[in-house]
Amino acid sequence: MTVREEGELAHKRVLVKVSGEALMGSEPFGLHWPTIERIAQDLVEARLTGAEIAVVVGGGNILRGARVASDGLDRATADHMGMLATVMNALALEKAIEFAGSPARTLSAIPMPTICEPYARQPALKHLARGRIVLLAGGTGNPYFTTDTGAVLRAAELQCDAVMKATNVDGVYTADPKTDPTATRYDRLTHDEALAKDLKVMDAAAFALAREARLPIIVFSIREPGAIASAIRGEGRATTVAP
């Protein structure tokens, strides 16, 4: 095991995956601005550790493509609608991050240059190197892929050290801890174990891509203030899914 010196970061360039539902706060739908402000402040504090930070945000607080498709729309159209929801969320989070004192840029896999920059790898890397928090919207730009898969794809492209999966629980459990009091938390898993156990933290395509890219996935709770910075430093309660 490598021993880190005090103050040394466990992960120097990370991709933080934030679900759309995390932005709802106490609301049943849409955006809860105090919650967005808190998450933005956490991201700014995490950047102040010296880490380079990219963020992929989901769109489930506004529209989830797979769910809408089951109501009659074709899947491709529904997924594109879901991708647009992620752009709205990223723009809101970008503004909150700037209010909190850090430069930020939204880049979308679906080109919409009058609203935000189109995603391309080299500009994203330049923004990261200049200390900007980079919000990556629009998923992969293709239907049938979740934002979890998009997060792992972007993390691999941008040579991130880890994917930080921010959830409502402090790691990966043997069962849903909200409904099963006997559920226990894993401290560490391999990608193969996560796939074999069919753990629902990320979809199988995301786990498989992370395994191929040898990317660790750190699963932690975003509910605690400062949780993102703690995870980047390798502190706090979390589950690490790694080779």
Grade residue 8 by pLDDT with cuts at 50, 70 and 90: low
Q: Count CB neighbours of 84 within 10 A.
A: 18
| pLDDT tens-digit readout, 56-90 | 999 999 987 667 777 678 899 989 999 999 999 99
The alpha carbon torsion through 136, 138, 143, 145 (nearest 10 deg) reads 30
| pLDDT tens-digit readout, 82-128 | 999 999 999 999 999 999 999 999 999 999 999 999 999 999 999 99
CB 143 within 8 A of CB 204: no
Percentage of the chain with pLDDT > 90? 72
pLDDT of residue 5: 46
The dihedral built from the CA positions of residue 91, 93, 98 and 102, taken in this order, carries a sign that is: negative
Strands (E), 102-212: 104-108, 117-118, 133-137, 162-167, 172-173, 185-186, 188-189
| pLDDT tens-digit readout, 190-205 | 999 988 988 878 888 9
Residue 9 phi, psi (nearest 5) = -80, 140
CB-neighbour burial class of residue 18 (10 A; exposed 0-12, middle 13-18, buried 19+): buried
pLDDT mean over 221-226: 88
Grade residue 2 by pLDDT with cuts at 50, 70 and 90: very low
CATH 3.40.1160.10 fits 13-241, yes or no: yes
Task: Please state the pTM of the whole predicted model.
Answer: 0.92
Task: Inform me whether the pLDDT recorded for 234 exceeds 60.
Answer: yes
Please state the domain extents for the chain.
Answer: 13-241
Grade residue 7 by pLDDT with cuts at 50, 70 and 90: low
